[in-house]
Amino acid sequence: MYDAGLKNRREVLGADYVDNSIGNADSFNSEFQELVTRYCWGEVWSREGLTRRERSLINLGMISALNRPHELKLHVKGALNNGLTRDDIKEVLLQVMIYCGVPAAVDSFRVAREVLGHDNDR
Amino acid sequence: MYDAGLKNRREVLGADYVDNSIGNADSFNSEFQELVTRYCWGEVWSREGLTRRERSLINLGMISALNRPHELKLHVKGALNNGLTRDDIKEVLLQVMIYCGVPAAVDSFRVAREVLGHDNDR
Amino acid sequence: MYDAGLKNRREVLGADYVDNSIGNADSFNSEFQELVTRYCWGEVWSREGLTRRERSLINLGMISALNRPHELKLHVKGALNNGLTRDDIKEVLLQVMIYCGVPAAVDSFRVAREVLGHDNDR
Amino acid sequence: MYDAGLKNRREVLGADYVDNSIGNADSFNSEFQELVTRYCWGEVWSREGLTRRERSLINLGMISALNRPHELKLHVKGALNNGLTRDDIKEVLLQVMIYCGVPAAVDSFRVAREVLGHDNDR
Amino acid sequence: MYDAGLKNRREVLGADYVDNSIGNADSFNSEFQELVTRYCWGEVWSREGLTRRERSLINLGMISALNRPHELKLHVKGALNNGLTRDDIKEVLLQVMIYCGVPAAVDSFRVAREVLGHDNDR
Amino acid sequence: MYDAGLKNRREVLGADYVDNSIGNADSFNSEFQELVTRYCWGEVWSREGLTRRERSLINLGMISALNRPHELKLHVKGALNNGLTRDDIKEVLLQVMIYCGVPAAVDSFRVAREVLGHDNDR
């Protein structure tokens, strides 16, 4: 289950990021890294009931609601790796505006833009 | 925009429920009913960027994170109307367990089951 | 400070409710009752910087955001005692819709209506 | 890990409650039951770094902050099984008042009292 | 409604800030900017039921409870534009201490002070 | 009560930090400083029902759940002053992973590590 989780985690969040997180772990957080890889990325992301695209949509909404900008940034990158477009992400965040309120959406749009950049920059 | 919203709202949440909410409104909450219909169900649910199925997946995760059981119950029904299966809903809630924590998932599984019933009851 | 707090608490939440809460306290929660009376109702509600009306407006928004329906119900009653009208309360909750999201507002409108009743009931 | 988790879960929450939860599970929530038993009660509650008493103290504070009254009720019972006294629980909830605010503490005192009963009832 | 909203938004948050937000929008967030201007600043801030001063009081409490420091900073500036004094803002945040807990108040006092500066700096 | 609170606060959070907070207070936040010292550090931290070690365990879980990283950092330092080891703190945060979700735990592990440093740095 750890190996399946590691594979999923590297494919979704990027191999460099994940290898660095695990390589950089020490006695304080290595068990945490191991549990996250096994349960979150192994047990849940390995399940076949939903596509990766769908799991990313859910995570963008859920992590916006949870008010966790560091994790949101990571999962915006993961969403791109899972095939979501810039427009798909915009749609989720407009739904965040309605259900989580305007301040949550302002924060999520700002964080997402740090990953996605500005139209004119591209 | 109100008419488009009302149509969406009735199709997703059920015509009886919506007609009752609006018919039962008084001077205290009729403007709220009107704004929700226009803003939430018109402006956002009318957008074409995501399917209704996808919007329901996002809402189940987001409303679980927001800890709003009354709305969750309504959106479990809406999810069924939007074509999600019992198994799809289970998948979202297992993802809730990982990202929002076990107590959030216990609550959401209990609420969903009030709508979905027990296997043996069917 | 306890006496000042008790006076404020009885005037805002109603003497019957408060006397019952305190009279019904036992060894488990009597210190809590005493601290709430002194700290919340004495130290803060005795301050002159804002009117009671203003403190009630803030509380309705804040307790809606905190997702605490039991306390919200109590503070809707307190708001009426502090001179807010039915329409004032409606205005706060429409602002809740925008800043805290639609599910928060749906819950707060429902709770407020349990106190305020329906137009046609009056 | 499942067996270790099941043993911990039954000892903390009570064998009857746990056997009922698992026996009552169906195709919708049986995987969730299995994961909670393994992940929460196996991986974490089996760890030796903290005593059960300490884990209960943490949970009472954490679940109060998370605003999950159903789970809080369960963990008040678990706290008694783990050796906390009525007075220990009171201390945690007074700390909740300061750090999570008065409405959180009012709710947690009410929920705890539903389990603990009133002095005069004993 | 967009024009009324834009006028309100510029008067409360400052013309420079708002013109920059809108001018800087791109295909990712321009619809969001438009919806916020229309619904939040048009539909709600145009309503006559409460004064701008009152709406600012509510927002300071509500956004503190929501734990959104970027938005809080903006609305501390807005509160000054709406006529609140330094002392009024202090009063709201002391009420935040009671209802949302000490950590929420520590954060909000720090954010507000970034806008208001230190006595000795003036 | 202020003096008892000040003594506790200096012993737990460190004399330098506390003296600086109080010395740096101005007309905007000095009453807040005074109330926090008296109620939080006087009324609650002076109580004898739980040890300081236990109060720190509760606070690490509770402040993680509340999503307040500035306060968490401070209380990780306080936890060390109250005798918790690096391993004790790790145990609390693994429990945070289960009950508050993975994003909460990722954030708390990162914040705690800013205080505790990396194994190899020691």
- Of C102, C110, C119, nearest to B26 by CB-CB distance is C119
Using the Cβ of F66 and the Cβ atoms of chain B, whether some distance falls under 8 Å is answered with: no
The per-type count for chain B, helices as H runs and strands as E runs, is 7, 0
ipTM (interface pTM): 0.95
Q: Mean of the pLDDT values across residues C11-32?
A: 94
Is the confidence at residue E3, as pLDDT, over 90? yes
CB C32 within 8 A of CB D109: yes
In a domain, F122, yes or no: no
C26/C58 same-domain check: no
E36/E68 same-domain check: no
**Domain range holding A65?**
52-116
E56/E107 same-domain check: yes
What pLDDT digit, counting tens, does each position of A26-51 carry?
Answer: 999 999 999 999 999 999 999 999 99
In E, which residues are within 8 Å of D103 by CB distance? 99
In a domain, E110, yes or no: yes
Measured between CA atoms, how close is D44 to chain F, in angstroms?
Answer: 7
Check residue B94 and give its pLDDT. 98
B38/B67 same-domain check: no
- Please name which of F6, C76, D104 lies closest in space to residue E98, comparing C-alpha atoms: D104
- Please name which of D11, D7, D16 lies closest in space to residue D42, comparing C-alpha atoms: D7
Check residue D118 and give its pLDDT. 82
In a domain, F121, yes or no: no
Measured between CA atoms, how close is C70 to chain D, in angstroms?
Answer: 8
Check residue F118 and give its pLDDT. 82
Q: Mean of the pLDDT values across residues C19-37?
A: 94
| C90 burial via Cβ count (<10 Å: 0-12, 13-18, 19+) | buried
D61/D82 same-domain check: yes
- Domain count across chain E: 2
- Please name which of D81, D85, D78 lies closest in space to residue D59, comparing C-alpha atoms: D78
Measured between CA atoms, how close is D44 to chain A, in angstroms?
Answer: 10
CA distance A56 to B58: 9
E56/E102 same-domain check: yes
In a domain, C13, yes or no: yes
Is the confidence at residue D122, as pLDDT, over 60? no
Q: Mean of the pLDDT values across residues F16-28?
A: 93
C96/C74 same-domain check: yes
Using the Cβ of D50 and the Cβ atoms of chain F, whether some distance falls under 8 Å is answered with: yes
In E, which residues are within 8 Å of C91 by CB distance? 47, 49-50
E30/E60 same-domain check: no
Using the Cβ of E49 and the Cβ atoms of chain C, whether some distance falls under 8 Å is answered with: yes
Q: Mean of the pLDDT values across residues A87-96?
A: 98
B17/B60 same-domain check: no
Residue E122's pLDDT band (cuts 50, 70, 90): low
Check residue C8 and give its pLDDT. 97
Residue contact F86–A40, C-beta within 8 A: no
Residue A14's pLDDT band (cuts 50, 70, 90): very high
CB C89 within 8 A of CB C112: yes
Residue of C38, C45, C82, C99 to mutate when probing chain E, most E C-beta within 10 A: C99
- Which B-chain residues 23-42 have CB contacts (< 8 A) with chain E? 35, 39
What pLDDT digit, counting tens, does each position of C36-80 carry?
Answer: 999 999 999 999 999 999 999 999 999 999 999 999 999 999 999
C64/C92 same-domain check: yes
In B, which residues are within 8 Å of D36 by CB distance? 97, 102, 105-106
B20/B68 same-domain check: no
Q: Mean of the pLDDT values across residues D74-84?
A: 98
In B, which residues are within 8 Å of C100 by CB distance? none
Residue contact E32–A97, C-beta within 8 A: yes
In C, which residues are within 8 Å of D91 by CB distance? none
Percent pLDDT > 70 in chain C is 98
What pLDDT digit, counting tens, does each position of F29-55 carry?
Answer: 999 999 999 999 999 999 999 999 999
Which of the residues in chain B have pLDDT under 70? 120-122
Measured between CA atoms, how close is B88 to chain E, in angstroms?
Answer: 29
In a domain, C122, yes or no: no
In a domain, B89, yes or no: yes
Is the confidence at residue C118, as pLDDT, over 90? no
D15/D56 same-domain check: no
Check residue A118 and give its pLDDT. 82
CA distance C45 to C56: 10
Residue E118's pLDDT band (cuts 50, 70, 90): confident
Is the confidence at residue C122, as pLDDT, over 60? no
- Of C107, C109, C120, nearest to B29 by CB-CB distance is C109
Q: Mean of the pLDDT values across residues A95-102?
A: 98
**Averaged pLDDT of chain F:** 96
Check residue D119 and give its pLDDT. 76
Is the confidence at residue E49, as pLDDT, over 70? yes
- 3-class secondary structure, F37: helix
Using the Cβ of E17 and the Cβ atoms of chain B, whether some distance falls under 8 Å is answered with: no
CB F35 within 8 A of CB D76: no
